[in-house]
Chains A and B, each alone.
Chain A
Amino acid sequence: MRPLLAAAAAITTAFVASAPISAAHAQGKQLTLCWAAWDPANALVELSKDFTKETGIDMKFEFVPWTNYADRFLNELNSHGKLCDLIIGDSQWIGGSAENGHYVKLNDFFAKEGILMDDFMPATVVGYSQWPKNTPNYWALPAMGDAVGWTYRKDWFGRPEIQAAFKQKYNRDLAVPKTYDELKDIAAFFQGRNIDGKTVYGASIYTERGSEGITMGVSNVLYDYGFEYQNPKKPYDMKGFVNSPEAVAGLEFYKSLYKCCTPPGASNSYMSEGLDAFKSGQVALQMNFFAFFPGLYKDPNVGGDKIGFFVNPAAKYQFTQLGGQGISVVAYSDRKNDALRYIKWFAKGDVQKKWWTLGGYSCAKSVLNDPSFPTSAPFAAEFLKSMDMVKDFWAEPSYAQLLQAEQKRVHDYVVADQGTAKEALDKLVADWTQIFKDDGK
C-alpha cells in the first residue's frame, strides 16, 4: 500500500501546488497575445512572466512568421475571431482596425488609469496609436518602436588594405556613409570584391514583391529625395507629390543601387533574406529594421566587434521608414478587462525599462530620454536618432490596396525593368487616386 499512498500524496501535493494556476484557468485567467514570430517576441515572453507573477493571469502567445502575419491576423480580426485578446498589430492596420471596430478605443481607459501619451515618443504615438492621425483618438499603446537602419561590416571597414584601396578609388576615407551617394560608392566598392578568399557583395536592400518589402525599402530613399504622400494642404491630392521629379530621382537611385550592388538572386529579398546575407558574410551593408540588431550583435560570426550600425543616410532630406507596432485590445475578446490590465502593466516605467534590456524597443520617454540610453547598447544611439526622423506608409483603412499597388509599380520598375521611374510613379498616382475614389475620399 505504501507506494500507492505515496503516489496519492504526490498527486495531491501536485494538485494543491498547481491550485492557483488551475483556479486561474478555471476562471478564464489566461490571455492570448498575438504577434509576429521574431526575436522581440521571445523577449516579450520573458517579460510577460512578471505579469503572470503579479496578477496570476497566464499568458499564451500566438506568434506567426512575418510572411503570414498580416494574412493570419487580419483574417482573424475580420472574422471577429476570439483567438487574440491582445494583438500587437502593424502600424498600418490602425486605420482599418479602428474604423471596422476591431480594436477597443483606449481613451477612457488611459484617462482612468492615468496613462499619458505624452510619456511616449511623439512619432510612435502618431504611428502606432492614433486614428485619425494627429487627433487624440487612441487605439493602441506604443509597444515596439522600430525603424529602418543599416548595419555594416566594421571589421572589413577597419582593414588597412581595404581602406587604402577605397581611398585610392574615391579619394576619401572608408567610413560610415552620411549620404546615399556615399553609401552607393561603398556598396559598389565591395561588390564582387574578394575578401578572405570569398566573393562578397555591396548591400542587401529590400526588394520583396509579395507583402510589403520593396515599399518599405524604397521609401527610405524616396523620403530623402523629396517624395510626399500627398499635398500637405489638400489631403489625397497626390499628383506632383508622389510623382514629383524628386521622387522620380529617388526611385531611379534605388534601382541603380539594386542593379549595381546587391548579391545575385536578391530580387525578392526582405528582412530574413537580408539577415541571411549579412550573417553569412555575403554583404558589407545591410538595410533592416532595428528590431533585428540585438540578435545580430550577439551573432558569433558577424556580431560584436565585427558589426557597426548607422542611421538611414540623407539625400536632400533625411528620413527613415517607420516600423514597429502598438499593442491593442481586440474588441471581440471575452477577457477585455484582463487584457486592459496587461496594457496598464506594460505601460509602467520599470516594465518599459526591462523591455528594453530584454531586447524589445521601448517607446517610453522615460527609457529613451534617459541620459544613459544612447550608450546602453551599440545601436541605441542610432535608434534614438532614427525615431526622430521616421515617416510611415498610409495607415488608411485601404492601406492593403495602397500597399499592393506600390509593391507592383515599384517592383515592376526596379527589379523587372518595366518602363521608367516616372511611368511607375504616374501609374501609382492613378492607382491610389482610384482607391481613394472608391473609398469616397
Chain B
Amino acid sequence: MTEVTAPTVFADRVAAATPSTIGRSVRGLSDRVIAWLFIGPTILLLLAINIFPLIWTIYLSFTNYRANRPNAEVKFVGLDWYQRILGDADVWAAMQTTAHFVIWTISIEMVLGFGLAWLIDKKFRGHALWTTVILIPMMLSPAVVGNFWTFLYQPQSGLFNYAISFVTGIEPSSFQMLGSVRLSPWAIIIVDVWMWTPYVMLICLAGLRSIPDYIYEAAEVDRASPWRQVWSITLPMALPFIMLAVLFRGIENFKMFDMVNLLTGGGPGSITEVASITLKRQAFESWRTGYSSAFAIILFVTVFGLANIYVKALNRVKQR
C-alpha cells in the first residue's frame, strides 16, 4: 500500500504548496504549450550546439577567414573555396582513399560479421561466452586500439610481424605495415575490421533472431536444403538489418579519423590520407578556416546525400 499512496501524497503536497495563482495559470495552459515547455530547452540546446555552428560554418566557407589571423579583415570570397576544392587533385585523391576504405572495410565487416552472427545464432555450447569475447574489441576506445596496434605493427618488435613471420617464414623486420605504401592501407583496414566486425555481428544477430522458427520448420517440411534456406529465408529476412549495419558503418567510416590519425597520420606520404585527415590538416595545421569550412560542408552534403538515398532504399526493402 505504501508504494501506491506515497506518490499521491507527494503530489498532493506539491499541489498544496503551489501558489494558487501558478496553479490557475498552469491549469489554463494548452497541451501544445506544455509540450513546447518540455521540448523548448532541448530545441534551444540543439540550435546552440548543432544548428548555429552549421550556419556559422556555411558563412565562414564563403570568407577568407583564418583562425590564426583573428585581427585580419574578413573578406567575402563567394564560391572560390568550393571551386578550388572541387578542382583540387589532392582533395579528389583523399576522397578516393576514403571511398576505398569505406568499400573494403564494409565489405569485409559484413561478410565476417554476418558469418559470426550466423555461427553464434546456432547456440552451440559456450556461445554466450564467445559472444562476449568477440565483442571485446568494440568496447575499447579507438585511442587505445590505435596505440595498441601501433605497437603490434612495429617491424622489429611487434607481435603482428612475428605472427606473419611464423606463418609465412618472412623475416619480421623485412616488411613495415605502417611505413609501406602497399601495406599501410591494409594495416588500417585490418584494425577497423578487428574493432568493428563485432558491431556488425550484433546487428546481424538481432536480424537472425527476428526470423520466426516456424518459417524454417515449414521450409524443412518442404525439404529445402540448408543453403536454400539461407538464400531464400535468412538473407532476405535479415536484409534490412544488414543494410542498417552498412548504413551505420558507412557513415562512421566515411568520417574515419581517430584510427587513421593514430596509426599512420595519413602517411606514408598521403597514401592513407582520408578526407577527415585532409580536413584536419587544412583547418588546424594550415589554419585555412574558410577553405576547411567549405570542405567540411562538401563532406557533410556528400554523407547526408548518400545516406538519404540509402535510407530510401532501406525503406523500400523493409516494405517488401
Which A residues form the contact surface with B (CB < 8 A)? 71, 74, 78-80, 96, 99-101, 209-211, 263-268, 397, 400-401, 404, 408, 411-413, 415-418, 438
Contact = CB atoms under 8 A, between A and B. Distances in A.
A74 B270 CA distance: 25
A412 B69 contact: no
A386 to B, nearest CB: 28
A417 B179 contact: no
Nearest to B265: A210
A401 B71 contact: no
A28 B201 CA distance: 59
Contacts of B269: 209, 408, 411-413, 415-418
A400 B155 CA distance: 32
Range, interface on chain B: 20 to 34
A74 B68 contact: yes
Contacts of B265: 209-210, 268
Q: Is the interface of A mostly helix, strand, loop or mixed?
A: loop
A31 to B, nearest CB: 24
Nearest to B288: A401
Contacts of B264: 268
Interface string B262-295: 0011111111000000000100111110000000
Contact of A265 (B72, B176, B270): B176
Given A264-B156, A416-B268, A400 B286 contact: yes
A264 B285 CA distance: 28
B212 interface: no
Nearest to B90: A408
A399 to B, nearest CB: 10
Contacts of A411: 267-270
Contacts of A210: 265-267
A416 B265 CA distance: 13
B270 A408 contact: yes
Given A416-B268, A416-B269, A265 B155 contact: yes
Nearest to B153: A265
Contacts of A74: 68, 287
User: Which of A78, A80, A265: most chain B Cβ within 10 A?
Assistant: A265
A416 B286 contact: no
Contacts of B181: 416-418
Contacts of B267: 209-210, 267-268, 411, 415-416
Contacts of B154: 265
A225 B176 CA distance: 31
Contacts of A100: 68-72
Q: Which 9 A-B pairs have the closest CB atoms?
A: A416-B269, A267-B179, A412-B269, A265-B155, A209-B267, A401-B286, A264-B155, A416-B268, A415-B268
B286 A404 contact: yes
Most buried by A among B64, B154, B173, B267: B267
B266 A404 contact: no
Given A408-B270, A415-B269, A78 B70 contact: yes
A440 to B, nearest CB: 10
A209 B266 contact: yes
B284 A416 contact: no
Contacts of A438: 64
5 contacts: A264-B173, A264-B179, A265-B173, A266-B179, A417-B269
B14 to A, nearest CB: 46
Contact of A400 (B70, B176, B285): B285
Given A71-B284, A400-B285, A401-B287, A265 B268 contact: no
A403 to B, nearest CB: 8
Contacts of A266: 179
